[in-house]
Amino acid sequence: MTNIVKFGAVVVAATAILSSSAAAQGVFVGVEGALLQSQVKLDDIYPSVLDDPKDTSIELGLKGGYDFDAFRVWGGYSYRTKGSEDYNMKDGADFINGEFNWQTHNILVGADYTPSLTDSFKLALGAYTGLSIVKGEFSGQAEYTTDGLTYVMDNDSTTGTGAIFGLKLGGIYEVVENNEIEFGIKGDYQTTGIEDYDNILNYGVYVGYNYKF
C-alpha cells in the first residue's frame, strides 16, 4: 500500500511538472517600441571636418514566434523613424548647407535565451539579424573637394539594401496568464547598400508586449 501511495505521488508530481512546462511553451505574437540613438558613418568622400550625423529615432515593430520556455525563436518587422542632422559649414571654397536624413525598414529573425528567474520573471538574452532597407537623403546644396576630386550635391535621395546584426538584454514579466511585458536594452549595426552611407550604429532601450497562445 505504501508503495502504491509513493507511486501515486510521483505520478502527480510528474504530471504537474509536465503540465507547467507545456503551459510555458507555445506560439506568441508581440509588438515592440524602442527609443534609439542612431549614428550614420559617412563615406570617406566627405570632408574630414564633417562629423557623422546622429539623431534619436523611434522604432515600432511586430513579431511572432515559438516559445520553448528556456529559449524562443521569432521573426518580425520593424520600422525606424527618420533621423536627421543639419549642417551649415564653409571652409574656403568648400561648403555644405543642408540636412542629412535616414530611415529604415527591417525584416528580422532572432533567437533569445529566456531562463526563468522567478515564477513570473525571465531573463531575455538574444541576438537577431536580417534584411535592412535604408533610405538616405541629403536636402540642400554642397560643394567640396576631397583627394583632388570636386563633389557637388543638390537634393540627393538614394535607397539601398543591407544587413542588420544586433544584440539585446532584458527581462520578460508575465503580468497575467498568457500576457507578458518585455523590456531592456538593445544595439545593432546596419550596412546600407548606399555608397555615401557606410553603416549605421543604433543603441537604446525597448519595451514590448507579448501574447502567448
Indicate whether 144 pLDDT > 60. yes
Better pLDDT: 9 or 69: 69
Q: What is the CATH number of domain 26-212?
A: 2.40.160.20
Q: What is the pLDDT of residues 157-212, one digit of tens each?
A: 899 999 999 999 999 999 999 999 999 999 999 999 988 788 999 999 999 999 99
Indicate whether 20 pLDDT > 50. no
Identify residue 95 by its one-letter amino acid code: F
Domain boundaries defined on the chain = 26-212
**Angstrom distances, CA of residue 185 to CA of 30, 100, 175, 205:** 17, 26, 20, 4
The whole-number pLDDT of residue 49 equals 63
Judged by average pLDDT, the poorest of 2-11, 61-70, 131-140, 174-183 is: 2-11
The whole-number pLDDT of residue 140 equals 85
Taking the C-alpha atoms of residue 25 and residue 4, their distance in angstroms, rounded to an integer, is 32
Identify residue 9 by its one-letter amino acid code: A
Nearest to 113 by CA among 75, 73, 76: 73
The whole-number pLDDT of residue 89 equals 78
The whole-number pLDDT of residue 198 equals 86
Cell output for 57 = 529615432
**Angstrom distances, CA of residue 110 to CA of 5, 79, 176:** 46, 16, 25
Q: What is the pLDDT of residues 58-109, one digit of tens each?
A: 999 999 999 999 999 999 999 999 998 888 877 777 888 888 899 999 999 9
Q: Exposure of 99 by Cβ count < 10 A (0-12 exposed, 13-18 middle, 19+ buried)?
A: middle
185, containing H or E segment: strand 179-191
Cell output for 131 = 534584411
Strands 149-176 and 94-113: unpaired
